[in-house]
Structure 1
């Protein structure tokens, strides 16, 4: 996981059934980020937080970025 605002990274362990919303919530808490809408990105692809790691085709070693949603909530 990479915080696009600060560049900070954190290594997290997940399995294919982990929901991306769980990862997002954990990252917001870990980095003490404001409770506002965020997007998840893998490379150039935005990933819906409603998907699981497996559904989003995220593999071992991939870096998911968390960034503010420019459109808000």
Structure 2
């Protein structure tokens, strides 16, 4: 039988304790029609909005809670 995990030691190392998977758009709803409007308005290629938003410097700051949703600036 494998040895039990030392949860406290894993926490100190920054181990993940939860993984959330959004199967079928239950948590995050993505409306492709709205995405297309945003892409058109900003001159982006069709289908490029997720990468433009999530991989941009401000997108990374937002995901790391280094900026607020309402102000678009650091908290």
How does the TM-score come out when normalised to structure 2? 0.23
Between structures 1 and 2, the one with greater strand share: 1
TM-score w.r.t. structure 1 length?
A: 0.24
> Which has the bigger relative contact order, CA under 8 A and spacing at least 6?
1
Larger Cα Rg: Structure 1 or Structure 2?
2
Larger helix fraction of residues: 2
